[in-house]
């Protein structure tokens, strides 16, 4: 007997055998049991998901003499006749090759006659989307109002027109999960008496991409290579012998070892693998790591053996989600650009270096990856990297000590007593702008704050503008902290506003005015100004020196001439 391909040999014969389409098969079984049979069904879905197989099962279930819970018995004369294609009332049409209007007219004329040997006359139209427009138009009427006892089942992998959809009961066949495909492959291997490695079955199921027929065909090929199905056999068949390098590259990226990552990639290339194959394998591996980060049960989403899944989970801990997304973007962009140049591997090498050293990339997701990586290391208690050899460590800034309110009062009294020394410290530090901003001031305490008093509101406003620029207020706090060990909060006030806030009587106000005026007389701010003070530091902050100043030119003098008109002159 001629050899029969496994996908044909193990084609499901009942609704219960159909893998991964439980909602569809359950609905069809209930329709058979209740006798609510539609006149037209539309099965939609990608290749290898069981559309045609389910249509054949339904044709037998409708005509079975002894149905078993909605399933065909596959033992009666009707089921056996349909299986061996001896029953002419069940017709399967390939619309890809019989897509003309004449073919549909012939079908329409044949449908007018009732079934001869079974209960229902069934027409299975495979690849229905291939019908021509004329064929669609010829099918519409009979599809909407067929003769009694006629059922149409249309199977298609693409969209059909709305006029067809409105006349059919639509069932969507979804992609089959890798877990379900691996289970079916395991069943077939046991039936065939073949030893199959779990890792190999998981790899084949993942490569099937949701199509069970593709998975069974790949299993058939693996069995043909040597009897038993091993992981190495499956890798070789699928062209994924370089997958072991992918895992090593991710370990190198996790360790930020760019030399190892590039070296492993070059080993991958030396095996003759294309760059596109590397991109596909890399993205697939990164996707598996990402699923291990996103969900607590990645086995429900990934078709991996227990050993591979444990390895992925352990490796995923070394990455953040942001870092994995950054790696995927780098490789996919390099893969797209690589198609336009001759030496495509160079772009992948650069991408691997940037993965190991995100600081070399200026992309926004590179910054996100670096921040997420620091947060991950901080959460795990990993210390920050030590400074590079030959690089001096950054000195720590002095941090102001926290002091009690009583200590703050004492500190302000000490600052007030030595305020003139503070001014000298400011000038010695080269902060000339700060020095001249607070030169004719005095200090007071207000609710634990150091109040710098000015003689007038204008002086206060000018000083506020100068201290607000270039962090000069912070610099003043640092100078006071260096001298006294700490610095209270600093506020600027004119003596008039301050006296009103603290409700001081007139005598105290006059005394304060006299003290500030005396200090202003003692210090001539203009004559005391060093020559090295930048001019811009002595100007108000809103001064605009871009305004053109017109040159002083003397006004043009108008000349008047007096002419005598002899005709109009009258002599006395």
Q: How far apart are the C-alpha atoms of 435 and 423, rounded to whole Å?
A: 6
- Rounded to 5°, angle at Cα 478 from 473 and 481: 125
- How many alpha carbons fall within 13 Å on the CB side of residue 274? 8
pLDDT at residue number 26: 92
Tell me the DSSP string of 192-215: HT--B-HHHHHHHHHHTTT-HHHH
Per-residue pLDDT of the chain (572 residues; tens, 9 = 90+): 577 888 888 899 999 899 988 999 999 999 998 888 888 899 998 888 889 999 999 999 999 988 888 899 989 988 999 888 888 888 888 888 888 888 888 888 888 888 888 889 999 988 888 888 888 888 888 888 888 889 999 998 887 778 888 888 899 999 888 888 988 999 999 988 888 888 888 888 888 888 889 989 988 888 887 778 888 888 778 776 556 788 889 999 988 898 999 998 888 888 777 788 888 888 988 998 988 888 888 877 776 777 788 888 888 888 888 888 888 988 888 888 877 777 778 888 888 998 888 877 766 666 666 676 666 666 666 555 544 444 445 454 444 455 677 788 888 888 888 888 888 888 888 888 788 778 777 888 877 788 888 877 777 787 787 777 767 778 888 888 888 888 888 888 887 777 766 655 556 556 666 665 565 555 444 444 444 444 444 444 444 444 444 454 555 555 544 444 444 444 43
> Look-up: residue for tokens 């100068």?
466
20 torsion bin: left (phi>0), alpha (psi -120 to 50), beta (else): left
Q: How far apart are the C-alpha atoms of 291 and 306, rounded to whole Å?
A: 15
pLDDT at residue number 201: 87
Q: How far apart are the C-alpha atoms of 560 and 469, rounded to whole Å?
A: 58
Q: For residue 216, what are the contacts with CB-CB under 8 A and spacing of at least 6?
A: 6, 7, 10, 184, 185, 188
Domain 6-173: which CATH number of 3.40.50.300, 3.40.50.10490, 3.40.30.10, 1.10.1040.50: 3.40.50.300
Contact 232, 201 (CB under 8 A): no
Tell me the DSSP string of 438-469: STT-EEEEETTEEEEEESSHHHHHHHHHHHHS
The SS3 call for residue 46 is coil
Q: How far apart are the C-alpha atoms of 211 and 369, rounded to whole Å?
A: 36
Q: How far apart are the C-alpha atoms of 183 and 195, rounded to whole Å?
A: 14
Q: How far apart are the C-alpha atoms of 537 and 356, rounded to whole Å?
A: 47
Which tokens is 551 given?
């040159």
pLDDT at residue number 127: 87
Q: Which residues are registered as beta bridge partners of 454?
A: 494
pLDDT at residue number 381: 61
- Domain borders along the chain are 6-173, 178-238, 243-379, 405-527
Strands 40-45 and 169-173: parallel
The SS3 call for residue 232 is helix
Q: For residue 314, what are the contacts with CB-CB under 8 A and spacing of at least 6?
A: none
Contact 211, 47 (CB under 8 A): yes
Question: Nearest-CA neighbor of 442 among 457, 427, 429, 455?
Answer: 455
Contact 112, 150 (CB under 8 A): no
> Look-up: residue for tokens 């003759």?
272
CATH 1.10.8.60 correct for 178-238: yes
Contact 300, 352 (CB under 8 A): no
pLDDT at residue number 55: 92
> How many Cβ atoms from other residues are within 10 Å of residue 345's Cβ?
18
Tell me the DSSP string of 462-513: HHHHHHHSTTHHHHHHHHHHHHHS---EEEEEEHHHHHHHHT--HHHHHHHH
> How many Cβ atoms from other residues are within 10 Å of residue 182's Cβ?
24
Number of H helices, E strands in the chain: 25, 8
pLDDT at residue number 379: 63
pLDDT at residue number 390: 46
CATH fold of 243-379:
Zinc Finger, Delta Prime; domain 3 (1.20.272)
The SS3 call for residue 45 is strand
């Amino acid at each position: 007997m001629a050899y029969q391909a496994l996908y044909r040999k193990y084609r499901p014969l009942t609704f219960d055998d159909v893998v991964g389409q439980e909602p569809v098969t359950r609905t069809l079984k209930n329709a058979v049991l209740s006798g609510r049979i539609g006149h037209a069904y539309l099965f939609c879905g990608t290749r290898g998901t069981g559309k045609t197989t389910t249509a054949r099962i339904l044709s037998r279930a409708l005509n079975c003499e002894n149905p078993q819970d909605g399933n065909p018995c596959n033992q009666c004369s009707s089921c056996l006749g349909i299986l061996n294609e001896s029953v002419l009332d069940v017709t399967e049409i390939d619309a890809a090759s019989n897509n003309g209007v004449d073919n549909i007219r012939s079908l329409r004329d044949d449908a007018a006659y009732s079934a001869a040997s079974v209960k229902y006359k069934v027409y299975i139209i495979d690849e229905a989307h291939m019908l021509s427009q004329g064929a669609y138009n010829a099918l519409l009427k009979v599809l909407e109002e067929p003769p009694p006892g006629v059922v149409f089942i249309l199977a298609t992998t693409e969209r059909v027109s709305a006029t067809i959809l409105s006349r059919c009961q639509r069932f969507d066949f979804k992609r089959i999960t890798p877990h379900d495909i691996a289970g079916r492959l395991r069943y077939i291997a046991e039936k065939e008496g073949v030893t199959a490695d779990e890792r190999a079955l998981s790899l084949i199921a993942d490569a099937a991409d949701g199509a069970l027929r593709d998975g069974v065909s790949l299993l058939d090929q693996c069995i043909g290579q040597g009897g038993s199905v091993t992981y190495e056999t499956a890798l070789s068949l699928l062209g994924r012998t370089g997958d072991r390098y992918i895992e090593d590259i991710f370990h190198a990226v996790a360790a930020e070892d760019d030399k190892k990552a590039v070296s492993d990639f070059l080993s991958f290339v030396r095996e003759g693998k294309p760059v596109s194959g590397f991109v596909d394998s890399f993205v697939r591996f990164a996707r598996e790591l990402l699923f291990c980060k996103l969900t607590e049960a990645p086995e429900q989403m990934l078709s991996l053996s227990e050993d591979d899944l444990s390895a992925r989970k352990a490796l995923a801990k070394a990455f953040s989600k942001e870092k994995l997304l950054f790696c995927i973007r780098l490789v996919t962009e390099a893969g797209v650009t690589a198609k336009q140049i001759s030496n495509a591997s160079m772009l992948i090498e650069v991408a691997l270096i940037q993965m190991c050293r995100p600081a070399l990339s200026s992309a926004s997701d590179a910054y996100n990856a670096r921040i997420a990586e620091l947060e991950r290391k901080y959460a795990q208690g990993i210390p920050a990297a030590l400074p590079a050899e030959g690089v001096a460590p950054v000195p720590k800034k002095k941090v102001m000590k926290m002091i009690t309110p009583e200590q703050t009062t004492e500190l302000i009294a000490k600052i007030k007593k030595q305020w003139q020394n503070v001014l000298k410290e400011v000038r010695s530090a080269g902060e000339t702008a700060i020095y001249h901003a607070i030169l004719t001031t005095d200090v007071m305490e207000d609710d634990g704050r150091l109040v710098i008093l000015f003689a007038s509101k204008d002086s206060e406003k000018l000083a506020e503008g100068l201290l607000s620029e270039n962090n000069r207020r912070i610099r003043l706090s640092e100078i006071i902290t260096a001298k006294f060990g700490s610095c209270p909060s600093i506020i600027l006030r004119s003596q008039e506003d301050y006296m009103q806030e603290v409700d001081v009587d007139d005598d105290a106000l006059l005394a304060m005015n006299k003290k500030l005026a005396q200090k202003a007389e003692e210090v001539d701010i203009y004559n005391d100004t060093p020559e090295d003070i930048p001019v811009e530091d002595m100007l108000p902050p809103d001064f605009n020196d871009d305004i053109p100043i017109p040159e002083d030119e003397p006004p043009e003098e108008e000349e008047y001439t007096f002419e005598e008109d002899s005709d109009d002159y009258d002599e006395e």
